[in-house]
Structures are given as structure tokens and as C-alpha cells.
Chains A and B, each alone.
Chain A
Amino acid sequence: MGMIIQGATGDWEVVIGLEIHAQVTSKSKLFSGASAEYGAEPNSQVSFVDAAMPGMLPVINEMAVEQAVRTGLGLNAKINKFSVFDRKNYFFPDLPQGYQISQYLQPIVGEGKILIDLKDGETREIGITRLHLEQDAGKSLHDQHPSQTFIDLNRCGVPLMEIVSEPDMRSPEEAAVYVKKIRSIVRYLGTCDGNMEEGSMRADVNVSVRKPGDEFGTRCELKNINSVRFMQQAIIYEANRQVDILEAGGTVDQETRLYDPVKGETRSMRSKEEAQDYRYFPDPDLLPLEFDGAFIERIRETLPELPDPKKARFIKDLGLSPYDAGVLVAEKEVADYFEAVAEGRDAKLAANWVIGELFGHLNRTSKSLGESPVAAPALGELLDLISDGTISNRIAKEVFEEMFDTGKMAGAIVEEKGLKQVSDTGAIEAAIDAVIAANPDKAAEYKSGKDKLFGFFMGQVMKATQGKANPGVVTEILKPKLDA
């Protein structure tokens, strides 16, 4: 469902398009051999090319080309065998060249589309306008000195993919789901690590409002958004701001606005924007980027199974519910973990344990899956112990607790603590007899029709066997004895 703002003059619909900047996973920069890794000492990952020293020239990184094509294929998009790098000219201290090398009229990837799953079970198609390669800028630090800004060029020249969507989203939630879906796809593809905290994924959001059915309104571009939560807040603030302007009889200026997460508002960047004229032209230091169909096909052959087909397979072949399947495919690590656990086992049981116990424990301890003390083979072993009757589901939860705390294997814990389920009828029968003998009055009450007491006897027997008795076997023997 779209977001509707009820104004004095009627309902307003929000129209959202996104430009996602995703850092290409690569060892080195787009046009230089300096490291693209995050978080090094200032200016230590800067080549003379990145610092735009006189006479320095760009040479393109083949990995960036491959990753862009791979991402384009993951977005079901048209791959352009001929594309052009342009210079986008503007002055800024963290832009040493005085221009950003980007792709303007002829990007490497053209139109595509992806599906997003909404809460109500509805699926929506979101159009991808284009994807192009460009250089990241450096970083300005304003808080290190009272009167100076410090410039670190480590990020300068890091390869980015700008993924531009059509204005197809109608609510902050849809935008959020879209961003998560793009993040999921690039992580599956291994083309971007999707880490928003470190800035390897950032979004600029175009927001406009209109009366349903009208033409698109004038949009504003919101910048400086580095989390999905902030993005949603920014959209809500901005949409309401625009509605207020329009309802007061004003007009929205097309402009770039900065989101301030502290104040929770957007503000105009007009001062900086005023004289902006980027003077795009093809970079004369580079030739057009060209490759053939065989190059694309080679990449296509290496594509992993993406979240949408994987989800469909989980539902169809493994019998999972759409909800469980959706949860399990959202992150590639989760899907891989689940598949490792489910391999050769009861998939539904595996899904329940991953989503229920594992996620529960991870959440409680604020751990990521990567940090889980219980690896997939270990959880698999535990499930095997349940399936072959060695332990009960209840004991299994205890064992899991122990596994999570200590990192020990399930078999070892069961052995060590003697938690093996007892199915030996002789031992169970002896325990039952002792329990009945100790509670003659309750046995009599049961016989006279108080059926509920069966649970009491069941519990006493389990207690007597420290929970290890196989509940099925207990029931089988206890019932006739009480009835006798």
C-alpha cells in the first residue's frame, strides 16, 4: 500500500525514486592501483593518480567492469557493450581532479527490473533505469581543527556503482524494502558488501508528491542518508514538507536537500548548488569501454542463485512457508547456513530451528550469523539427534543452549551430561511402576475418570528419568498400566 498524506485539499500520494551508490567489491580502485580497503591511516591508500598530481592518468580496473556487468545481470538489466566515461566537473576539496569520472549519457548497464515483497504478501516490480560506474570522492573532516578542514583521499577513486531506480515507489516502507532487496542482490552477487555503516552503500532519495492520478510533481533529492531508518524518516519529513508548501499555494523548488538525522529534517543545499553546471564531456584520457557478448556470457555462467529463484525453490521443493522462505533467503549467509543445515535432513525442522532457536539466541546476544558459536554442521548434528530419537525436542533445546554458550558439539554434550533419551522399556516400566506405587490415591482418581491426571503421571515419570525417557514409549506403557 502506498503512503497517503491527508491534506486539507485532499489526499496526496508520495512518489519515490532512489539512487543507490554501492561500492564495488574489489581490491584496488577504479582507475588506480591503490587499495580500496576501508579504514586505513589518512592518505595511506592514495596513489599519485588519486591525488590528481600533474600528469597522472587513469587506467580502468577490469574487476570493476566485471562487477558492474554481474550486478546488471542480477538486476535483469540490459548490458551495454559500448559505454563511455565522462568527466563531471566541479570544485570541491575532496575531489582532487576537479572532476569525477562517471558515466553520463552512455552507462554500462541500461534498463532492468527487480521484484520487492511487501508485508501484505503483495509483490511489486520496481524498474531500474540504469547502473553506471564512477569514482568515489575523498573525505572532508570538519571536526579536527577549529578553523581548518582536513582532507583524506583514501576513498578517492574507490569504484562505485550508481544504481538508479524508476520513480516506482509509493511509501517509505517500499523504499526500505527496495534498498534491502538491492542490498541482498549485490551481496548474493558478491559485487558489494552492502555495509551502510562503513558507507559502502549509500542512497540519494528523490521525493515528490502528487494528487493520485496527477502528473509527477517537482522532486527534491535528499542526500546524506546512510541507514534505512533515516531514509524512511527523511522521506516522511520531506513528503509532509512538500504537501505543506503546495497546500499553502506555494511551489516546490527542484533542489538537493541534506538530511539531518539529529534534527530529523531536511534542509536546502541551495547555496552550494547555485552555480552548478557540471559540464559533462567524454574523458579524453580514456577510450570508450567496450566488450563482447562472450564476456557477458562468461559472467552470466558464474552467477549464483539469486534470492527470488531461491525463495521459489524453498517453497516448492522444500515445502517451506512463503514467510519462512522469505526470511531465509534475505541474506545470502543465512540461506547458505540454512541449506547446509537442511542438506539431507527435514527442511521444515531445519527452518524452525534456524529461524526460532538460532535467530532468537543471536538476537538476544546481539551476534551476527558470522559470529554464531553454533556452526551449520553442529546444528545439523543436533537435528540428527532429534530425528533418530536420541534426544527429545525439549532436551534438544537445553543442548542447544549449552552449544551456544560453550561452542561444544551436541553429541559431546549429550554424552557428557547423560542426556540420551531412554527407550529401554524395562527401565521405563520400572520407573512407571514406582511412580504409580508412590501415588495410589492419584491412580485411583484417574481410574474414576479424572483423565487430566495422565499428564501428572507423565511428568512424574519424566522427572524420575531426568527427562531422558522417550515420551512416546512412556505413553505407550503408562496408559495400559493406569487403565488396568
Chain B
Amino acid sequence: MSLDKAAVAKVANLARIRIEEKDLEPMAAELNNILGWVEQLGEVDTDNVEPMTSVADMRLRWRADAVTDGGYVEDVVANAPSREDGFFAVPKVIE
């Protein structure tokens, strides 16, 4: 599997990271270098092997249903680059 320029542009768009046109080709080369190296995983027999789902040998803990958090609008929006009346503000979204 090898990534071309267009594929890099597509992945960059998925990741919402601007990559300048001139940088696509070198980025493709860098990614292909890494992916080529990763190909060696194919040598490992993983038939009937479950993927690792949890690192620690434990069960998911559940929390009791109680309101224990929230109620601090100021803290929530304190770091916002743009805000208005307790809302976060972003450029108009057209749906």
C-alpha cells in the first residue's frame, strides 16, 4: 500500500490539517517510508488472536447516576478564543 499525493490530501482533509500543495509530495514520501517499515507486521501470525482491548486486567467501572459536575459556565468558556453570553462563538456554520 502506497500513498500518493491525492491520498495524502484526502487524509489531511480528514484530519483537518492544512498541508500546502508543495508539501504534499514530500509528506507522501515520509508517510510511505513509515508505512513501508510497518509492513513487517504482516510477518506476525495473528490468526485467532484477539486484538488487545484493555491493557489493565480489569472491568469497566460504573458511576452512580448523580449530578456531581457542571454549573460553572465561566470556567467552561474562560479559555475560548471567541465567546458571547456564555456561548462559544465560531464562524457561521451553514448546514
Contacts and interface: CB of A to CB of B under 8 A. Distances in A.
Given A63-B65, A258-B95, A287 B89 contact: no
Contacts of B60: 60, 286-290
B61 interface: yes
Interface residues of A, number: 53
A379 B70 CA distance: 45
B89 A145 contact: yes
B44 interface: no
Interface in A123-152: 140-142, 144-152
A46 B70 contact: yes
A51 interface: yes
A288 B87 contact: no
B73 interface: yes
Interface in A370-389: none
Interface stretch (A36-44, A112-120, A426-434): A36-44
Given A33-B68, A279-B14, A149 B90 contact: yes
Nearest to A26: B65
A27 interface: yes
Contacts of B93: 93, 140, 142, 149
B69 interface: yes
A48 interface: yes
B65 A149 contact: no
B26 interface: no
B91 A275 contact: no
A49 interface: yes
A288 B89 contact: no
Interface centre among B60, B62, B70, B90 (most CB of A within 10 A): B70
Interface string A262-287: 00000001001001010100100011
Contacts of A140: 93
A26 B64 CA distance: 10
Contacts of A147: 91-92
Given A26-B65, A148-B84, A43 B77 contact: yes
A93 B88 contact: yes
Contacts of B33: none
B86 A287 contact: no
B62 A44 contact: no
A48 B92 contact: no
Contacts of A47: 69-70
Contacts of B18: none
Interface in A57-77: 59-65
A287 B61 CA distance: 9
A184 interface: no
Given A48-B76, A49-B69, A272-B95, A91 B53 contact: no
Contact of A42 (B13, B68, B87): B87
Pick the 7 closest A-B CB pairs, nearest first.
A34-B70, A63-B65, A33-B68, A33-B69, A62-B62, A150-B87, A47-B69
30 contacts: A32-B70, A33-B63, A33-B68, A34-B67, A35-B67, A41-B73, A45-B71, A48-B76, A60-B62, A61-B62, A61-B63, A62-B65, A93-B88, A93-B93, A142-B92, A145-B92, A147-B91, A147-B92, A148-B89, A148-B90, A148-B91, A148-B92, A149-B92, A151-B87, A151-B90, A152-B87, A277-B14, A287-B53, A287-B56, A288-B54
Given A41-B86, A43-B73, A275-B13, 17 more contacts: A26-B65, A33-B63, A33-B70, A43-B87, A45-B70, A46-B73, A47-B70, A59-B61, A60-B63, A64-B65, A145-B84, A145-B92, A150-B84, A150-B89, A152-B87, A287-B54, A288-B60
